[in-house]
Amino acid sequence: MAWSRNQILISIRTVGKKIASSEVKPSDLTKASLKLTTQLRPLNAFINVTHQLAKTQSQESDSRQESKKLLGSLDGIPIAVKDNFCTAGQPTTCASLMLADFVPGYDATVYRKLREAGSILMGKTNLDQFAMGSGTVDSYYGPSKNLWGSELARNYILEDDSHKNEIENRPTLEEWFIAGGSSGGSAIAVSSGMCFAALGSDSGGSTRNPASYCGVVGLKPTYGLVSRHGLIPLVNSMDVPGILTRTVDDCLAVLNTIAGPDNMDSTTIKVPFKPIELSTSLDISGLKIGLPKEYKCPELSEEVESNWLEVSRLLEEAGAKVLPVSLPHTEYSIVCYSVLNKCEVASNMSRYDGLEYGLRADESSSLDALYAKSRSEGFNDVVRSRILAGNYFLLSENYENYFVKAMKVRSLIAQDFDKVWDSGVDLLLTPTTLTQAPKYKDFICADNQAQCSVQDFCTQPANMAGLPAISVPIKLSRSGMPLSLQLMAPMLCEERLLRVAKWIEDIVKFPRLVLK
């Protein structure tokens, strides 16, 4: 049967059943998704749309469907991958000139697992250069634009028609909202229906922040639960592959596919991963949910705070115990991250020297001059400034005062979480972002570092402690933009995290966009 446009935005679970019953051909689904990538090109979600590969993979899925040998629930499902994950034979640019022509010879483990599960790669999504940002506005290929709040949203309706008037009067694409970052392209691709799931990366909130602004689910797993092999590093000690989907169930399907130990990544947890199953009966009674008082900061908008309190009330009415808690070192998390980020960036970026791979400048006067010119041309101002700051922090005379002190503060932040868990708290509920998505013209009034300090305030501490965290869309603001909340759990408590996230999702019934 032909796949119509208004069917493309259903969940992986639903469309997977249609593929399994042969009601839908993977190739038809892929054609519809590819058509949408063309129609929504002004949003700049993709750096590279893999047209031919997607067609080939979908035809292979068709063959498996015909022979009744589908590989699982993700077989035939269109996905996208953030362009800092290596994909064999496909460019992996990190949204930079430095890697504009880089084509890896191997797949990142997470993408390999998705490919082996039969999923279809739609393309590589846009990001802030080398994932250094919180808006997806610092890409060599131009900024990405949020579907919500854009004139292209007029091509959609909302599942819940009580909100239908809130998307009728949209500004033009000249007056657009950011998608968040640095995984903004992946969030746009999912929210718009160009794919059903996407990989992001999360070092300080780079999956959860754009998920919040684009009205999708964004999961950062426990550090080490998912392999980083093939993820071009930003901050090795905090980088985690993230998952963006439209529903919690879809997020779980992807997590069950990509999680587990990997011999190619020494930081993965060596215990075999047992796939998570969520009960159809979601009972949250008896759970202790903490509300950290430090997250109620002056920059928190009235709408987000009201949203936070309303969901807290719903949890309490369902039998959960909601109580205030304290994470006293939260206020130092951003400055601590700023130091550690720059130190690891300085180290990681040193490999781009213009010799082995990446951009090589036209310079032959000396090796030092070649290094300098290649790096000056290949990196943008944001990357160069972080390299310079990181090298300064790592100087022998500065090492103790910056790097060592930052590591000590990081330990205190992690200990704050441990004390909360030891007190019997099961989960923490916080805002994901302090406001709805800002407009681009307002966002760029502050520099990259200033914006990261604001945008990562609620999300970054989970990376410091290596904890799992998820952003769940809750409702629309008065201006029709998504508002979300974040749940955090102890390490390796993804089942508990996802169970409560799904309960919230079922209760609030966030009105997703559906093509007309």
Query: Is 38 part of any domain?
Result: yes
Q: Given a cut of 80, is residue 160 above it in pLDDT?
A: no
Q: Buried b / exposed e across 439-474, counting CB within 10 Å, b at 16+?
A: ebeebbeeebbebbbbbbbbbbbbbbbbbbbbbbbb
Residues 428-483: tens digit of each pLDDT: 999 999 999 999 999 999 999 999 999 999 999 999 999 999 999 999 999 999 99
- Residue 226 within any structural domain of the chain: yes
Helices (H), 321-366: 333-348
Identify the active-site residue in 134, 139, 150, 182: 182
- Answer yes or no: is 353 within a domain: no
327, 294 contact by CB (below 8 A) = yes
Decide if 350 is catalytic. no
pLDDT above 80 for 162: no
Burial class for 381, CB neighbours closer than 10 Å (0-12, 13-18, 19+): exposed
Per-residue pLDDT at 377: 96
Residue 508 pLDDT more than 70?
yes
Confidence of residue 316 (pLDDT cuts 50, 70, 90): very high
Exposed, middle or buried: residue 394 (CB in 10 Å: 0-12, 13-18, 19+)?
A: middle
Say what the alpha-carbon torsion angle 145, 148, 150, 152 is, to the nearest 10 degrees: 100
Question: What is the share, in percent, of the chain residues with pLDDT greater than 90?
Answer: 90
| Residues 161-175, mean pLDDT to the nearest whole number | 55
Is there a contact between 53 and 79 (Cβ–Cβ < 8 Å)? no
pLDDT attached to residue 391:
97
pLDDT at 10 over 80: no
Do 120 and 197 touch, CB atoms closer than 8 A?
no
pLDDT reading at 12 higher than 90? yes
Note the pLDDT of residue 3. Answer: 47
Per-residue pLDDT at 159 = 74
- Residue 404 has φ and ψ, to the nearest 5°, of -65, -45
How much is the average pLDDT of 296-315? Answer: 97
Please report, rounded to a whole number, the percentage of residues in the chain having pLDDT higher than 70: 95
Q: What is the mean pLDDT of the chain?
A: 94
Closest CA to 66 of 78, 56, 74, 58: 58
Please, what's the b/e burial string for 180-198 (b: 16 or more CB within 10 A of its CB; e: otherwise)?
A: bbbbbbbbbbbbbbbbbbb
Catalytic residue among 82, 145, 220, 502: 82
CA end-to-end span of the chain? 19
- 389 falls within a domain: no
Cβ neighbours for 177, distance < 8 A, ≥ 6 positions apart: 145, 146, 148, 149, 150, 213, 437, 438, 439, 440, 481
* pLDDT tens digits for range 198-241: 999 999 999 999 999 999 999 999 999 999 999 999 999 999 99
> At 89, which CATH number?
3.90.1300.10
- 469-476 vs 217-220, strand pairing mode: antiparallel
Would you give the distance in Å from CA 220 to the centre of its chain? 8
User: pLDDT class for 6, splitting at 50, 70, 90?
Assistant: low
Whether residue 295 lies inside any domain: the answer is no
**Residue showing tokens 């790096």:** 375
Dihedral sign for Cα 240, 241, 247, 253, please. Answer: negative
Q: What is the pLDDT of residue 280?
A: 83
**Mean pLDDT to the nearest integer, 89-106:** 98
Q: Which of 206, 227, 338, 484 is catalytic?
A: 206
Q: How many domains does the chain have?
A: 1
**What is the reported pLDDT for 155?**
86
Name the 3-class secondary structure at 41. helix
Q: Is the pLDDT of residue 69 over 60?
A: yes
E strands present in 159-249: 197-202, 217-220, 240-245
Note the pLDDT of residue 173.
Answer: 54
119 is catalytic: no
Predicted local distance difference test score (pLDDT) of residue 157: 83
Residue 425 · residue 289 · CB < 8 Å: yes
**Is the residue at 393 inside a domain?**
no
> pLDDT at residue 2 above 50?
no
Report, as an integer, the average pLDDT of 186-193. Answer: 97
Is position 269 within any domain? yes
Q: Which residue is associated with the tokens 């190739």?
A: 27
pLDDT at 105: 97
* Residues whose CB is less than 8 angstroms from the CB of residue 105 and which lie 6 or more positions away in sequence, other chains included: 88
> Which position has the token pair 């599942």?
159
Among 10-14, 115-119, 133-137, 385-389, name the one with the lowest average pLDDT: 10-14
Active site residue 206: yes
| Stretch 408-434: mean pLDDT | 98
Domain range enclosing 45: 12-285+427-515
In a domain, 107, yes or no: yes
Q: How far apart are the C-alpha atoms of 33 and 25, rounded to whole Å?
A: 13
Give just the sign of the alpha carbon dihedral 116, 121, 126, 129.
Answer: positive
Mean pLDDT of all residues in 279-304: 95
